[in-house]
A and B are shown apart, each in its own frame.
Chain A
C-alpha cells in the first residue's frame, strides 16, 4: 500500500511538470493580454531541438538551452506575424501548431530517416535526476519528493520566478498594464509591441523547458506528437487560474493527478481510464459556465437595484 501511495505521488509530480511549464508560459502572455494557443507547438519544437542539440553537443545544458531557444524562436515568429504583420492571433497560433506537427516530423525524417522516433538513431542525453539529501530519507514523503528530474524541481522554481517577475519587477508592472489597458500604457510611453514581444519570448523560453522535459526527462528521445495535448491542458489550467501563476500551478497538478489516475486505471480497465482523464475538463467547463452565469446574474441584479432606486428617486422628485 505504501508503495502504491509513493508511486502515485511521484507520478503526479512527474506528469504535472510539462503541464506546469505550459501553464506558466500561458500566464505570462495572458497577463500581457494575449491568449497563447501556440504553446503546444512551442513545446513540440523545443522537444525536438533539445534532442538534436544535446546529441550534437553531448551536453545536457546546451540541449536544454537549445530547447529554450526553439521556444523563443517560435515566440518571436508569433510576435512578428501578430504584432508587426497585424494578423489574427488565434489563426496564427493554430497555423503554428499545425506547422510544428508537420515540421518536426519532417525534420525528424530528414535527420534520421525514421518517421516515428529518434530512439536508437540519435544519441541524445537526459537531464539528470536528483536525490535530495535528508528529504529523501523521510518516510513516505521522501520517495515522493526526491529522485525527480532537475526540470521538475525547476518547474516549481519557475512558478515562483514568474510570480516575482509579474508582481515585483518593473517589467511585470508594465506587462500587466499593457494586458489590462493598452491605451493607458501607450499614453505614458510604454511600447505595447515591445512588451508583448518580450512576453512571447519569455513564454517561449518557459514552454521550451516543458518541451525539454518531454524529450530529455520523461523519455530520452523525440517521437512525433510527443507533447500530446499537454500544452492545451496547461492553457486551460492557466485560464481557470485567471493569470495567477500559483493557482495555475495548482490546477496543473490537479490535471497531472487525473493523468496519473487514468494511467493506473488503464492497467485494469481502459474505459474508465479515459473517463477519468475527461473528468477534470468536464469539471472545468461546468465550473466556467456556473461562474459566468453567476456573474451575469449579479450584474443583472445590480442593474435592477440601480433602476429601482432611480425610479423611486424620480417619483419622489415628482411629488415635491
Chain B
C-alpha cells in the first residue's frame, strides 16, 4: 500500500498558550481505514481541524502524495483532496439530495441551474460508490443515515481522496452503522483513505487497519489493529499519568440528600439519553460521574438542576421531588450548580462581577432596603467574595467577559460556594482553566463536602479530577450506570477507562449497595 497522507511534527499552540497538539506525526495509506483515538481533550478535534484547513499551526507540515499542502480554509483542503464529514451535517433541508450535493459546483444551462444534469450526475455517483439514494428526495424527508451518505457523496464528487470522519456512528442506528461500514470498505477497495475518529473501540477493532493514539496533545504512535486489543488501546488512551496532588480523608457521610431513582430522560429524537439511572449522594461526600462525550453527563446535569424535564423516575432533594419547582425554588431548597458552559449559562458575561455574584440573592432581606437594593450591603459582600476567591479584576463593576477564563469561573464559584447550599452539582468545573484556579476549585469542593457536610455531585471528563476529588465514583455510558466504585482512590485509571469505553460492564448485582 502506498502512503497518501503524511503529517510531520504538527504543533498547535493557541493564543492563550494552551498546547493542543505537540509534534504529531503519522501517516495514512491509500486504501486504509485509519482510526484516530484519544480521550476528550486529547487534541483530536484540533488535529482534525488542521488537516481540514480550519486551523493554522506553528510547526510541522502536512503532505499529500509527497506534496506539501498550504491550506488556508476548508475549501483549500477540499481542492487538495481532503474531505471531512462533520458530526453536524452541513445540509440545506428544503433542497433535494441532488441539489445539496452539487451546491457550489452546479451544472448550468445558460443562466439556468440544470437540475436534470444534477440528478444525472449525482445518481451516477451514488451508483458508482454503492449508495442507495433517491437523489430527488428532499433532505428534510430522509433519515440521518441517508444524510450522512449525502455528506460523503458531497466530498467524493469533489474529488476527495482522504475522508475524515468525526464520530460518524454516534448518530446512527446499529443497522445504519453496519451499512456505513460496508460502504467504507467499498471506498477502501477503490483506494480511498479514511480517517475514522471514534470512542467506540469495538467498532475500531472491526473496521480499521491501523490506529493512531493521541494523549494530552501528544501522539503515542501508530499501531496495527491486528496487534492490538481493546484493552491495550484503552490503556494507551487513558494512560498512567494520573497523579493525586492532594490527600484527603475518608468522608463521614450523613443522610441522603440527592436521590435519583429509575430516571429516564428522552431526547427529541426519541432516544433515551438517560436510561434508568439510580444513585444517591449523601451529605458530606463527593460522588463523581465519569463518562465519554455523549454518555449522558450533560442530560443528567440538566435534569437534576431542573433546567430540562425528565420523563420517568424521580429526583428528590432532601426528600422533596424537584419536578414542578422553578430553578429559584430549587436554589432556595439548597441546590447550587456550576454549569459546564460558563460563558452562556454559568455567568452573564456582559454584566458586572457584582451583578453576577448577587444574581441569585439580590432579593434576600439582607441585600434590601424597603423596595430598593441595599448597595452598601451588596458592595461589602461582593468585595469580600472578590478577596476570598482572589478574583483578579479592576473592580466589581468590570464586565465578566473582560476577565480570563479562570477568573470568570472564580466569579461563578464565588456565587455558588457562598450560596449556603446543601447540595452542589459541579459540571466540568475546571474545563479549560489555569492550574491555580483548578487547584482552588478542587480543594474547595472537597472541603465544602467534608467540613460543611455539603453533598457534591461532580460530573467531569477529566479523569484526574474525578479520581482526585471524588469519594465514590460512578461510570455513565449510553445513559446507563455501568460501574460503581465505593472508593475512588482505589480505582485504577486503566480500569475506569475500560468501563467508560465499553470494554467492561458491571452487573446490577456487583453494583448493589454501591449506588
Q: Mark A residues whose CB is within 8 Å of B.
A: 168-174, 176-177, 180-181, 183-185, 187-190, 303, 306-307, 309-311, 313-314, 318
* A306 / chain B contacts, CB cutoff of 8 Å: 266, 268-270
B275 touches A309 (CB 8 A): no
Q: Determine, out of B98-106, B464-472, B495-503, the stretch whose residues face the partner at the interface.
A: B98-106
A190 touches B276 (CB 8 A): no
Residue of A177, A309, A310 ringed by the most chain B CB atoms within 10 A: A310
Q: Determine, out of B88-96, B335-343, B409-417, B425-433, the stretch whose residues face the partner at the interface.
A: B88-96
In the complex where A188-B154, A303-B268, A314-B275 touch, is A180 in contact with B112 (Cβ < 8 A)? no
B108 touches A170 (CB 8 A): yes
The answer for the CA separation of A181 and B75 in the assembled complex, in Å, is 17
Q: B159 → chain A, closest Cβ, in Å?
A: 13
A181 touches B112 (CB 8 A): no
In the complex where A188-B104, A189-B104, A310-B311 touch, is A173 in contact with B99 (Cβ < 8 A)? yes
25 contacts between A and B (CB under 8 A): A169-B111, A169-B112, A170-B108, A170-B112, A173-B99, A173-B103, A173-B113, A174-B104, A177-B92, A177-B103, A180-B93, A181-B90, A181-B93, A184-B91, A184-B103, A187-B74, A188-B90, A188-B103, A189-B78, A190-B104, A306-B266, A307-B266, A307-B270, A310-B311, A314-B272
The answer for the CA separation of A120 and B92 in the assembled complex, in Å, is 54
A170 touches B113 (CB 8 A): yes
A310 touches B91 (CB 8 A): no
A311 touches B108 (CB 8 A): no
Q: A303 → chain B, closest Cβ, in Å?
A: 7
How many inter-chain contacts with C-beta < 8 Å in the A-B complex? Answer: 83
* B100 / chain A contacts, CB cutoff of 8 Å: 184
* A185 / chain B contacts, CB cutoff of 8 Å: 92, 103-104
A173 touches B311 (CB 8 A): no
The answer for the CA separation of A189 and B476 in the assembled complex, in Å, is 40
B264 touches A314 (CB 8 A): yes
B276 touches A173 (CB 8 A): no
B103 touches A311 (CB 8 A): no
Q: B84 → chain A, closest Cβ, in Å?
A: 9
* A188 / chain B contacts, CB cutoff of 8 Å: 75, 90, 103-105, 154
In the complex where A170-B106, A188-B104 touch, is A311 in contact with B92 (Cβ < 8 A)? no
B103 touches A174 (CB 8 A): yes
A307 touches B90 (CB 8 A): no
A310 touches B264 (CB 8 A): yes
The answer for the CA separation of A230 and B269 in the assembled complex, in Å, is 43
* A170 / chain B contacts, CB cutoff of 8 Å: 106, 108, 111-113
* A309 / chain B contacts, CB cutoff of 8 Å: 270
Residue of A169, A170, A174, A190 ringed by the most chain B CB atoms within 10 A: A170
The answer for the CA separation of A181 and B94 in the assembled complex, in Å, is 10
* B74 / chain A contacts, CB cutoff of 8 Å: 187
Q: Taking the complex as formed, is B128 at the interface, i.e. its CB lies under 8 A from any CB of chain A? A: no
* B103 / chain A contacts, CB cutoff of 8 Å: 173-174, 177, 184-185, 188, 190
The answer for the CA separation of A291 and B190 in the assembled complex, in Å, is 51
Q: A34 → chain B, closest Cβ, in Å?
A: 16
* B105 / chain A contacts, CB cutoff of 8 Å: 188
The answer for the CA separation of A174 and B94 in the assembled complex, in Å, is 12
Q: B229 → chain A, closest Cβ, in Å?
A: 29
* B91 / chain A contacts, CB cutoff of 8 Å: 181, 184
Q: Taking the complex as formed, is B65 at the interface, i.e. its CB lies under 8 A from any CB of chain A? A: no
Q: A116 → chain B, closest Cβ, in Å?
A: 45
Q: B404 → chain A, closest Cβ, in Å?
A: 25
| Bitwise interface map of B from 423 to 453 toward A, beta carbon under 8 Å scored 1, else 0 | 0000000000000000000000000000000
In the complex where A180-B94, A181-B91 touch, is A173 in contact with B106 (Cβ < 8 A)? yes
6 A-B pairs with the lowest CB-CB distances in the bound complex, closest first: A188-B104, A306-B270, A184-B90, A310-B266, A307-B266, A170-B113
In the complex where A306-B270, A307-B311 touch, is A176 in contact with B95 (Cβ < 8 A)? yes
B92 touches A184 (CB 8 A): yes
In the complex where A170-B108, A177-B103, A307-B266 touch, is A187 in contact with B90 (Cβ < 8 A)? yes
In the complex where A169-B111, A170-B106, A177-B95 touch, is A183 in contact with B90 (Cβ < 8 A)? yes
Residue of B nearest to A318 (CB): B276
Q: Taking the complex as formed, is B312 at the interface, i.e. its CB lies under 8 A from any CB of chain A? A: yes
* B127 / chain A contacts, CB cutoff of 8 Å: none
